[in-house]
Amino acid sequence: EVQLVQSGGGLVQAGGSLRLSCVASGLAFDDYAITWFRQAPGKERERVSTISNSGGETLYAESVKGRFTISRDGAKKTVYLQMNSLKPEDTAVYYCAATTDWTLATSGPIYEYELWGRGTQVTVSS
């Protein structure tokens, strides 16, 4: 079965840190770029960070640059999102998504993604 299984998340005070994990199974992990998205209540889902299939390229939303770091471990088929200096406005459900299409990964329409994790809640208290 092809799936992305997420873990991590939770409740943290502002200024704190969390690490999200996205473990892939049933697919050729090294062929896929992974993007982290988030969706806050009443808002549209937005891109947070993307990593290329090789790990050589990473992209970040302006709102998280310098605070979040995306990385991947091919041996573990896992992508991580290290989130530091968290702010209340980072509160959202975070999703990972996979695609072999780099254009889609970086700027394509979200609805074209076919492979998603189930989401994990991140809550940052002030």
Residue pair 87/74 in contact (Cβ under 8 Å)? The answer is no
- pLDDT of 112 reads 92
Tokens of 60: 């970040």
Pull the structure tokens for residue 23: 């473990």
CA atoms of 51 and 58, how far apart (whole Å): 4
Kindly list the averaged pLDDT for each block of 10 residues, start to end, along the chain of length 126: 96 98 96 97 96 97 98 97 98 97 91 94 97
